[in-house]
Amino acid sequence: MADRTWPGLLLVLTGTICWGVGGTVSQYLFQEADVPVTWLVSVRLLLSGAGLLFLAWMFRGRAAVVRVVRDRRALGSLILFGIFGMLGVQYTYMASISEGNAAVATLLQYSAPVFIIAWVLLRQPAEVTKREGTAVMMALSGTFLLLTNGSVSALSVPVPAVLWGLLSGAALAFYTLYAGPLLREWGSMTVIGWAMLIGGAAVAFLHPPWQIDTSAWTLTVLAYFLFVVFFGTMLAFWFYLESLRFLKPQVTSVLGSMEPLSAVVTSIVWLQIAFGGWQMLGGALILGMTFYLTLGKPPEKAGQEEETA
């Protein structure tokens, strides 16, 4: 293995594990510390967005940060991406965690490829390929097992958590499809940083960041909050994007599966979340669907799509 590969592996694994653990820590903040979802989403996006733009300024210069917002056409697209893409993904994901748990929310978000396939087929009607059909069946079967634990008599996951989780998958599909031109033209770190600021500012109208009672916060709650903002969001995005300098996009996409795996493991071990055998199989099918689609992409196509992650 080339020496140049090791930094990329370290970056992508650290970033995706931080994403997954960040979801579990968010669950603790919602369900044990009564932190409001809208407040955490707003503050998380505002602080992380400012941090990413600062890093872009330091490493790529002022022009790389400000030129996108000076272009009217690009600014309009950036606002739409920030609200319906970045905020859409972050809010629905966090709401699913709040109503259920991080493990299921993260796995449901990984249903995004099914929504992407459906959208492409709606826009360009064509015969479903064997690969696409297999992927959809894997996703549907996995989702059924994940939500029912093999029993059709009752859901093992609260209905609101399921709905928010599926909306998160749909939002991630929009995020992936819409972001490509922006990322290629203006740079990943800059676009994501501004999108976070825009999304955070939008949700701040629902819950201003300064309207929070922290009098009952312990040092543990504060530490978990800081972890979600800086390690689970800002550094996770940065490390993942930086890994693309060292690794092929297909490799980073496959290693991205460490996000749901880390969410599942930390939810079971740390928060003692019950996760049945059939649910494990369902999660494996959903992850397998992601592997199946990713490893079957032509290299150039995988590279174009990966930039939207």
Proportion of the chain above pLDDT 90, given as a percent: 51
CA dihedral sign of residues 177, 182, 188, 192? negative
Helix-helix angle 102-109:258-269, to 10 degrees: 160
pLDDT band for 290, please (50, 70, 90 cuts): confident
For the cut 50, the answer to whether the pLDDT of residue 303 exceeds it is no
Confidence (pLDDT) at 2: 52
Average pLDDT value for residue range 188-198: 94
pLDDT band for 8, please (50, 70, 90 cuts): confident
- Angle in degrees, CA 132, 135, 137, rounded to 5: 110
Average pLDDT value for residue range 129-134: 83
pLDDT band for 309, please (50, 70, 90 cuts): very low
Lowest-confidence region among 19-28, 49-58, 232-241: 232-241
Q: What is the pLDDT of residues 31-82, one digit of tens each?
A: 999 999 999 999 999 999 999 999 999 988 999 899 999 999 999 999 999 9
SS3 labels along the chain: CCCCHHHHHHHHHHHHHHHHHHHHHHHHHHHCCCCCHHHHHHHHHHHHHHHHHHHHHHHHCHHHHHHHHHCHHHHHHHHHHHHHHHHHHHHHHHHHHHHCCHHHHHHHHCCHHHHHHHHHHHHCCCCCCHHHHHHHHHHHHHHHHHHHCCCCCCCCCCHHHHHHHHHHHHHHHHHHHHHHHHHHHHCHHHHHHHHHHHHHHHHHCCCCCCCCCCCCCCHHHHHHHHHHHHHHHHHHHHHHHHHCCCCCHHHHHHHCCHHHHHHHHHHHHCCCCCCCHHHHHHHHHHHHHHHHHHHCCCHHHHHHHHCCC
Most confidently modeled range among 132-136, 143-147, 163-167, 272-276:
163-167
pLDDT band for 125, please (50, 70, 90 cuts): confident
Q: Domain spans of the chain?
A: 8-306
What mean pLDDT, rounded, does the chain reach?
A: 87
For the cut 90, the answer to whether the pLDDT of residue 95 exceeds it is yes
